[in-house]
Amino acid sequence: MTPRRFYRIRQILDQRQPDLTVLADGIHKSQNISAILRTCDAVGINELHWIVPPGEKSGIWKRSAGGSARWVKPQRHPDSAIAVAHLQARGMVLYAAHLSPTAVDYREVDYTRPCAVVLGAEKEGVSTAVRAACSAEITIPMYGMVESFNVSVAAALILAEVRQQRERAGLYDTGSRLPKDLYERTLFEWCHPKMARFCRERNLDYPPMDADGDIAEPSAWYAQVRAERLEEKT
């Protein structure tokens, strides 16, 4: 871990927007969800919420994601009711990107409040059940024969507007807005992904880091872990 990389990681974490997310509703193509994940990282979104019914095969296409799955956590939900309840419990309003007679220009809603942008599959759009929970339906004006952009392109356009509104409101300049425990856990996982996986697999607390982002006294930490394990066996 170089000081330059540690500074960069902390800088990115300080700009994460814990009250902003995307909810993917019925998006099955790995290329699309992966491209959306990449855009989420670019605008400072920490989690992408994804409705994936049990038994449905959906994954991240690494080529499109560009490694963003390491920086943005995909949170899967088995159905729309659970996903919506989870976001509303966090105080978020939902904006559905959906073409309808009541839809407003995507630039006319307030993205500086805690919110989730809901994106649906290109043919069906956002499901009726999810739309019923949304505060507004938004649309991107079109000037050609096609009715809509590809969903990943639409996500990029909408999230670019989200970022501009939040930049004007100073929400990227306030220092870390993540809860302290989440910040520290994420910082360690980003700095030391292999060690983090080692700890999770063995149900161990993460070791402390020093001011430069390195693991503080790793030999002493390993010795303590071994001693605790031996004590458990006796």
Which residues does the annotation place in the binding site? 140
Q: How far apart are CA 124 and CA 96, in angstroms?
A: 13
Angle (nearest 5°) at CA 16 between 166 and 205: 160
- Residue pair 16/44 in contact (Cβ under 8 Å)? The answer is yes
Non-local CB neighbours of 20 within 8 Å, separated by 6+ positions: 43, 44, 45, 111, 114, 115, 116, 162, 166
Q: How far apart are CA 2 and CA 12, in angstroms?
A: 16
- Please give the structure tokens belonging to residue 215: 């693991």
Q: How far apart are CA 178 and CA 139, in angstroms?
A: 30
Listed in order, strand segments (DSSP E) in the chain are 20-25, 47-51, 73-77, 93-97, 104-105, 115-120, 136-139
Query: Which amino acid is it at 79?
Result: D
DSSP string, 128-152: HHHHTT-SEEEE----SSSS---HH
- Binding-site sequence positions for S-adenosyl-L-methionine: 140
